[in-house]
Chain A
Amino acid sequence: MPAILVPTEKWAGKVREVTLGGDSRKKVVVGGETTLPFLHFDGVIPHAPAIAIDVEDVAPQNWSPVLGAVWGDVMREGLAAWARKAVEAGADMVALTLRSADPDMGNTGPAEAVEAVKKVLAAVDVPLIVYGPGIAAKDNEVLVAVSDAFAGKRLALGLCEDKNYRTIVATCMANGHIVIANSPIDINLAKQLNILITDMDMPGDRILMDPTTGALGYGLEYTYSVMERLRVAALLGDSMTAMPMILNPGREGWRFKEAKTRDGVPTQWGDLEGRGIAWETTTAIAQLQAGADILVMRHPKAVGLVKRAIASLMATNY
């Protein structure tokens, strides 16, 4: 029998470990890999990628009807019910978006933001990710208030972009939280932002990096290759690209007509529910293969499928 010796890659670098949650609550550790995703014959993968599920502080208006069908009841019942159902659906973490702070969605302020976070923290014991409404000025306003109010809870706060990184980083440093550093699908901009953040003396193990999700059919290949390049750079020893990566296949995968529109689309697109779920899971599996450490997802069936895939990818006894 011919002897086939598989060459192994021994990398010099290692992805940083980041711990979310803890204190009196559950914690989740991500990162720490010394190899490309799931290649157990090359190196060590101490922690499985984690799944967070999106919840919002007001019932979303333009989510896909497929998501409306599974989350509709708890959306009406309120944030606590929604967060609990997310954990029941398999979420390792909850990702709360403070949507009501958006000037078009109520323009609420710091008090309401703190109240929303308090509700979720009381309802579930998993780590919490908190996103502002995505408008830099409002993000600063509500995230700083949340950061101050929940010092020591090791929340992940975002987005932290080149526009507002000083404010978000300063408040996360002061209160022991984690920043989500977001840059627009570009390896150099991602690295640059990590440098700016660490230059403020933010510890490297309190940064998650979000290189921006291009969904399947909407720039997935760019996200995919930027992620692969970031991860290869990290393993080659570049500490400024070695932050664990967090991606949003849920938000992006469900945003377009492929996951929203039932009628008036080509028959070849098939059934909407299955198509939407596949749009989210396909985006997610690509991101897992490119190095995602946290996936923020939406549909319970998609979460179930991806969790089973992760279990298989983490197993070494096949």
Chain B
Amino acid sequence: MALSGIAIYKLLPKTNCKDCGFPTCLAFAMKLSQQGIKLSACPHVSEESKQALDASARPPIQLVTVGTGERAFSVGNEVVMFRHEKTFYNPTALAVRVKTSQSREAIAATVAAVDAYSVERVGIHMRLNAIAIDDAKGDPAAFASCVEQVSSITKMPLILISKDPRVMEAGLSKVAGRRSLIYAANSENVAQMAALAAKHGSPLAVQGDGLSQVAEVVEQANKAGVEELVLDPGARGFGNTLNTFTQIRRLALKSKERLVGYPVIAFPGEGSISPEEEALLASQLVIKYAGIVVLDHFAPHHAYPMLTLRQNIYTDPQKPIQVEPGVYPIRDPGRDSPVLVTTNFSLTYFSVAGEVDGSGMPAWLVICDTDGLSVLTSWAAGKFDGAKIAKTVTTHEVGSRVDHRFLLIPGHVAVLSGEIEEELPGWSVLVGPREGIDIPGYLKNVWTARLQGAKK
């Protein structure tokens, strides 16, 4: 567990030499305790203190980086069992596996599709993270050739799968310097696999049957100087992975058990009876503690919900996702369509957008910048008032999109009606329902009648 600032201070030279860029050793220690700076910034720290601090600085679940360049990903470094306790930091990496037994054409097609896949949600482009290459033939030359082929198609990080160190070495030699994940060291090959990991600067997956066997292999890998590890305790299926991965997370966080303080890797396709079941298990693994999930099937209709789930679960509960302020057309609205005003809290946006969409009636949705606060909260905080709404309507030229001059506001802020009409001459405010769920009924009945009345 990380040391407090004071505990770190005791291990520093206490000379206040300022060589680290901080005015005092205490200030440096405080920054260090918040993990805002590296110990190496202090040129004078003793070797002894360095070891003590390095050990304490290692997070309970090791951070492991796979790949290089802009598509590299990091997993681990999680600090809580439940996202509401703080947040989950490093989203589960999703990989797709190809096998040397497949044709080169099939492999090329899968890799290119996975590499190109990118889908947008709330302004964020979500992608898959890695390609796993499985040595299905036990043949070094075939593996090397496959690794070479894949690496020529994609810059995504690679996971190389073979239990044979000779095969692994043949594959690694084709992607030197790319920090591919080696899968896997086990109790038989750990010496050679750890040597390969050390030589290539690669992270290493450790495979065993159960936690004790995994811990034993981890111990040997650590002795060989390999610290960036990923665990496969052999669990497969819904129940087994949930229980085993929960135990690993709990051991790492609560018992400070270093030997299992690493991210875990899972293979939901193994044991699943269909791609649908594999995708569902993968979703459970995103929620419950997998660092890396290796899929045997890639299909956009499964990737999209899986990536959306990952975005949901890894959102910081303290910092709600904000929607970009502006005017959002729903169902191709026209000049007679209603204009609804609300806040940019993502849940507010999704509720309102969802209800309007569900009503089947096209509409314009005007989203005001309320710093991500909901309707009542932002109104109470003075961030959702007449001036803000008027400014948003004017800035985004809402008047040029419709022929009518009605603004529909949430029922909870009916009190803003006068203010808005004062700020926006010519516009009339309609007070909508308080709850999103009542919007379809309102649009169908009240809005339609109002519009027809105004036309007459």
Contacts and interface: CB of A to CB of B under 8 A. Distances in A.
Interface of A: 1-7, 38-41, 62, 104, 134, 185, 214, 216-222, 224-225, 228-229, 232, 255-258, 266-275, 277-279, 281-282, 285-286, 289, 301, 305-306, 308-309, 312-316, 318
Interface in B326-347: 347
Interface string B51-68: 000000000000000000
Contact of A228 (B82, B281, B350, B358): B82
Given A41-B247, A305-B276, A255 B358 contact: yes
A216 B247 contact: no
A275 B306 CA distance: 10
Nearest to A316: B239
A220 B304 contact: no
B246 to A, nearest CB: 6
A46 B159 CA distance: 41
Contact of A218 (B219, B273, B350): B350
Given A6-B251, A214-B347, A286 B287 contact: yes
| 4 closest cross-chain pairs (CB), A and B | A270-B301, A270-B300, A274-B301, A312-B238
Contacts of A40: 239, 243
Given A7-B250, A312-B237, A275 B283 contact: no
B383 to A, nearest CB: 20
B337 to A, nearest CB: 17
B437 A7 contact: no
Contact of B305 (A2, A39, A282, A308): A282
B266 to A, nearest CB: 14
A217 B122 CA distance: 9
- The secondary structure that dominates the A interface is helix
Contacts of A3: 212
Contacts of B98: none
Nearest to B187: A1
A160 to B, nearest CB: 16
B247 to A, nearest CB: 5
Given A268-B117, A275-B301, A285 B287 contact: yes
Chain B contact residues (Cβ within 8 angstroms of A): what range?
35 or more
Nearest to A267: B300
Interface of B: 82-84, 117-121, 211-213, 215-216, 219, 235, 237-240, 242-243, 246-247, 250-251, 254-255, 257, 259-260, 273, 276-277, 279-281, 283-284, 287-288, 299-306, 308-309, 311-313, 315, 317, 347, 350-351, 354, 357-358, 360, 437, 441, 444
The CB with the most chain A CB atoms within 10 A, among B250, B251, B301, is that of B301
Nearest to B208: A1
Contacts of B279: 278
Contact of A270 (B215, B302, B437): B302
Given A7-B251, A219-B351, A274 B302 contact: yes
A45 to B, nearest CB: 11
Given A2-B212, A216-B308, A286-B309, A278 B302 contact: yes
29 contacts: A1-B215, A3-B212, A4-B260, A6-B247, A7-B250, A38-B242, A40-B243, A41-B247, A185-B347, A214-B350, A216-B309, A221-B312, A224-B83, A229-B84, A256-B354, A268-B304, A270-B301, A270-B302, A270-B304, A271-B299, A274-B301, A274-B302, A275-B304, A278-B280, A278-B301, A278-B306, A282-B305, A289-B284, A316-B239
A285 B284 contact: yes
A214 B237 CA distance: 26
A220 B300 contact: no
A279 B279 CA distance: 11
The CB with the most chain B CB atoms within 10 A, among A185, A271, A282, is that of A282
A132 B232 CA distance: 49
A266 B119 contact: yes
Contacts of A305: 276-277, 280
Contact of B238 (A1, A301, A309): A309
Contacts of B444: 104
A235 B120 CA distance: 38
